[in-house]
């Protein structure tokens, strides 16, 4: 309850079930309306749910009837009335309206039930998020974030926040966002990983969760310029154990959404049978096996090439849950990945590929813990050692085997919601050529 006055409870629509038979007041927006002549049916929404308000000509004063008649889509109002059980309505309850206080009569609303083009909708993203489908996606996103935090909080991880303004790169220099830092240069974080490695040496198991920036000139349905990444880093955890944690983690997130977001998944029309199988363990393929299988399917690809979206999709189609591709060639992966001691031409890493063509959702690896080898990699990758002195220190003062990974939130939301494009997975997407609103 928000407040109480004269026998009247100020509630949200989500609380209506607890107030059956009682007089209440609700702050809301008009989502839609129809009339049978004698009754006006107001579709009301307040962010916690939808409710129908009944305004009966014979039961209300003329000014209330008139106020209801004049309401336009997205007008804001307080309604007062009695909550009544109604099995046929969406929420199971409706409101028999006795009074309406209009806060603002909205101007003609640009987003109507007719079809709009994507550019139009993105230009009006600040309003588009009010639609039932977008609201459902944002609710599921919030639930995914909650489940992610819950998993790590319940499994002995400490949350640590790496910086967003950084002096150097983590994932190569080609897609860095540059900015001035007084007289120096700085870059927006591409990944908090290197800092999380420092934090793991202090706290054991840690995770970060924050925005990540990549000035990627790719205009695909999987790429954002600003996206959110969860990055766990674990001391004394090797590649193998890291994969076991990843599969338990992803299965936990999917199963939690299935348990808690049934209504939202139905609103967006997600085929949940596609998610029910997502339980640990996940299938695995080495990079070598993947290359051989792809060649057998007629793909023109050789050992040493990286996979593109069509390759990932073809591989993922064989499975009903995400698949790990492990042991990529050293040459196509990041400088910090630990070579396989039995086969130094490949690294102890894995990408997790989501089913149904959603592509890579996790990239992770065991990290190089040997100071000499790390120094060699710096030289090979022409990384200025001076900028990374602190990172090399981690290998000088009590270096230990450690592993970590990064899960892209928006790709995960796109997959769980079954969306064509990541642009709908984040409240205000930042994409190539789109910085508004
Ligand atoms: O594979 P990536 O580049 O891994 C890293 O950044 C590591 N440093 C993480 C770590 O080990 N701590 O990115 C990790 C994930 C990808 O699997 C993908 O889900 C997501 O981040 N991602 C993007 N999502 C949306 N738009 C983009 N441009 C993305 N680039 C990566």
Ligand 1 centroid distance, CA of 37 (Å): 56
Q: Which atom of ligand 1 is nearest to the CA of 352?
A: 17
pLDDT averaged over the chain? 96
Least confident of 88-92, 270-274, 334-338: 88-92
Please write the tens of the pLDDT for every residue from 53-90.
999 999 999 999 999 999 999 999 999 999 999 988 87
With the most atoms of ligand 1 within 8 angstroms of its CB, the residue from 191, 205, 347, 348 to mutate is: 191
With the most atoms of ligand 1 within 8 angstroms of its CB, the residue from 406, 413, 425 to mutate is: 406
Look at residue 6 and tell me whether its pLDDT is greater than 70. no
Q: Which atom of ligand 1 is nearest to the CA of 412?
A: 19
Ligand 1 centroid distance, CA of 411 (Å): 10
Please write the tens of the pLDDT for every residue from 117-140.
999 999 999 999 999 999 999 999
Please write the tens of the pLDDT for every residue from 199-222.
999 999 999 999 999 999 988 999
3-class SS string, the chain: CCEEECCEEECCHHHHHHHCCCEEEEEEEEEEEEECCCEEEEEEECCCCEEEEEEECCCCCHHHHHHHHHCCCCCEEEEEEEEEECCCCCCCEEEEEEEEEEEECCCCCCCCCCCCCHHHHHHCHHHHCCCHHHHHHHHHHHHHHHHHHHHHHHCCCEECCCCCEECCCCCCCCCCEEEEECCEEEEECCCCHHHHHHHHHHHCEEEEEEEEECCCCCCCCCCCCEEEEEEEEEECCCHHHHHHHHHHHHHHHHHHHHHHCHHHHHHCCCCCHHHHCCCCCCCEEEHHHHHHHHHHCCCCCCCCCCCCHHHHHHHHCCCCCCEEEECCEHHHCCCCECEECCEEEEECEEEEEECCCCEEEEEEEEECCCHHHHHHHHHHCCCCHHHHHHHHHCCCCCCCCEEEEEEEHHHHHHHHHCCCCHHHCCCCCCECCECCC
Residue nearest to atom 9 of ligand 1 (CA): 406
Ligand 1 centroid distance, CA of 129 (Å): 26
Residue nearest to atom 4 of ligand 1 (CA): 363
Look at residue 311 and tell me whether its pLDDT is greater than 70. yes
In this prediction, residue 5 has a pLDDT band, given cuts at 50, 70 and 90, of low
Q: Mean pLDDT over residues 9-14, rounded?
A: 97
Ligand 1 contacts (CB < 6 A) are 170-171, 191, 193, 214, 216, 223-224, 227, 229, 231, 360-364, 404-406, 408, 410-411
Q: What is the pLDDT of residue 408?
A: 98
In this prediction, residue 419 has a pLDDT band, given cuts at 50, 70 and 90, of very high
In this prediction, residue 110 has a pLDDT band, given cuts at 50, 70 and 90, of very high
Q: Mean pLDDT over residues 403-407, rounded?
A: 99
Ligand 1 centroid distance, CA of 223 (Å): 10
Q: What is the pLDDT of residue 173?
A: 85
Look at residue 243 and tell me whether its pLDDT is greater than 60. yes
Q: Mean pLDDT over residues 322-330, rounded?
A: 98
In this prediction, residue 294 has a pLDDT band, given cuts at 50, 70 and 90, of very high
Look at residue 95 and tell me whether its pLDDT is greater than 70. yes
Q: Mean pLDDT over residues 108-118, rounded?
A: 92
Domains of the chain, earliest start first = 3-104 (2.40.50.140), 122-424 (3.30.930.10)
Ligand 1 centroid distance, CA of 91 (Å): 39
Ligand 1 centroid distance, CA of 298 (Å): 29
Residue nearest to atom 24 of ligand 1 (CA): 408
Q: What is the pLDDT of residue 218?
A: 85
Look at residue 7 and tell me whether its pLDDT is greater than 90. no
Q: Which atom of ligand 1 is nearest to the CA of 361?
A: 19
Residue nearest to atom 7 of ligand 1 (CA): 406
pTM of the entire predicted model: 0.96
């Amino acid at each position: 309850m928000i407040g109480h006055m004269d026998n009247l409870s100020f509630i949200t629509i989500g609380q209506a079930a607890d107030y059956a038979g009682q007089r209440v007041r609700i702050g809301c927006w008009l989502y839609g309306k129809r009339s049978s002549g004698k009754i006006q049916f107001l579709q009301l929404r307040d962010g916690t749910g939808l409710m129908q308000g009944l305004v009966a000509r014979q039961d209300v004063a003329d000014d209330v009837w008139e106020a209801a008649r004049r309401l336009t889509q997205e007008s804001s109002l307080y309604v007062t009335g009695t909550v009544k059980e109604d099995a046929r309505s969406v929420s199971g309850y409706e409101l028999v309206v006795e009074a309406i206080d209009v806060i603002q009569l909205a101007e003609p609303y640009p987003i109507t039930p007719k079809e709009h083009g994507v550019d139009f909708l993105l230009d009006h993203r600040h309003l588009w998020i009010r639609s039932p489908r977008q609201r459902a996606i944002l609710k599921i996103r919030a639930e995914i974030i909650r489940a992610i935090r819950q998993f790590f909080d319940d499994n002995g991880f400490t949350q640590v926040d790496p910086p967003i303004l950084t002096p150097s790169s983590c994932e190569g220099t080609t897609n860095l966002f540059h900015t001035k830092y007084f007289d120096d240069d700085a870059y927006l974080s591409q990944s908090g990983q290197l800092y999380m490695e420092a934090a793991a040496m202090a706290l054991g198991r840690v995770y970060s969760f924050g925005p990540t920036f990549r000035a990627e000139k790719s205009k695909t349905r999987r790429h954002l310029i600003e996206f959110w990444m969860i990055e766990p880093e674990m001391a004394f955890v090797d590649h193998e154990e890291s994969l076991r944690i990843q599969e338990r983690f992803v299965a936990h997130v999917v199963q939690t959404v299935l348990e808690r977001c049934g209504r939202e998944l139905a609103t967006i029309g997600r085929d949940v049978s596609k998610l029910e199988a997502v339980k640990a363990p996940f299938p695995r393929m080495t990079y070598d096996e993947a290359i051989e299988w792809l060649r057998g399917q007629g793909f023109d690809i050789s050992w040493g090439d990286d996979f593109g979206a069509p390759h990932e999709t073809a591989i993922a189609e064989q499975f009903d849950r995400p698949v790990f591709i492990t042991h990529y060639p050293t040459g196509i992966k990041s400088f910090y990945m630990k070579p396989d001691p039995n086969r130094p031409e490949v690294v102890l890493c894995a990408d997790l590929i989501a089913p149904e063509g959603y592509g890579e959702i996790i990239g992770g690896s065991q990290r190089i813990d040997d100071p000499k080898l790390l120094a060699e990699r710096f030289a090979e990758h022409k990384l200025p050692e001076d900028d990374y002195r602190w990172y090399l220190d981690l290998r000088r003062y009590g270096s230990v085997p450690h592993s970590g990974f990064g899960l892209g939130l928006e790709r995960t939301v796109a997959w769980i919601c079954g969306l064509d494009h990541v642009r709908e997975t984040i409240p205000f997407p930042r994409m190539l050529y789109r910085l508004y609103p």
